Amino acid sequence: MEALATILHADLDAFYASVEQMLDPSLRGKPVAVGGGVVLAASYEAKAFGVRGGMPGRKARELCPQLIFVSGHFEDYQRLGDAAIRVLGDFTPLVERISIDEAFADVAGTEHLFGPAAEIAKAIRRRVPRAQLSATLECRAEPRTARYPAKSPVARSITLGTHSVLVQ
């Protein structure tokens, strides 16, 4: 019998670059990279050209000549990451943060309060501080498998076992 999905994996999408686009509206819809000598993060617009985190800045510029490099606002990343992760804590005390923009939350004990894991994930996504930020939330029966779908190119979905639910 398949275990019920009660572990949420929350991952803020293209986080550093999304924060930069949120802070400076003139960057929205444009290819943005945080960093310089090395790309720390890339917007989805930059990723469309093959720009990736960890890539040398020179290679990124070759792939995307119109790429806009920004130095970053790390205090804002921390503030917004903290705010987003705090939303998980409103649904369960069992939150394990694994990075500035990523965490696991076990909602097994709170489904009687907030509904099934998929509904909790939808509610969390709606509450993430997201003028231009969005979150991918994946639901799985265990943390080891929850993380993999969130790294796939299909963002903004909630995966329950083999079923996906689009989160608007």
Q: What pLDDT, in 10s, does the model give residues 132-151?
A: 466 677 776 665 554 444 44
Q: What amino acid is encoded at 116 in this protein?
A: P
Residues identified as active-site: 102
The segment(s) of the chain belonging to CATH 3.30.70.270 are 7-13+74-166
* Residue found under tokens 């400076």: 24
The segment(s) of the chain belonging to CATH 3.40.1170.60 are 16-70
Q: Which of 24-28, 55-59, 68-72, 154-158 shows the lowest mean pLDDT across its residues?
A: 154-158
The encoded tokens of residue 52 equal 């990736």
Architecture of the domain made up of 7-13+74-166: 2-Layer Sandwich (3.30)
Name the CATH code of domain 16-70 (choices 3.30.420.240, 3.40.1170.60, 3.30.70.980, 3.40.190.10).
3.40.1170.60
The encoded tokens of residue 136 equal 């991918």
What's the pLDDT tens digit per position in 16-41?
A: 999 999 899 999 999 999 998 999 99
Residue 93 has pLDDT above 70, yes or no: yes
Cα 60 to the center of its chain, rounded Å:
22
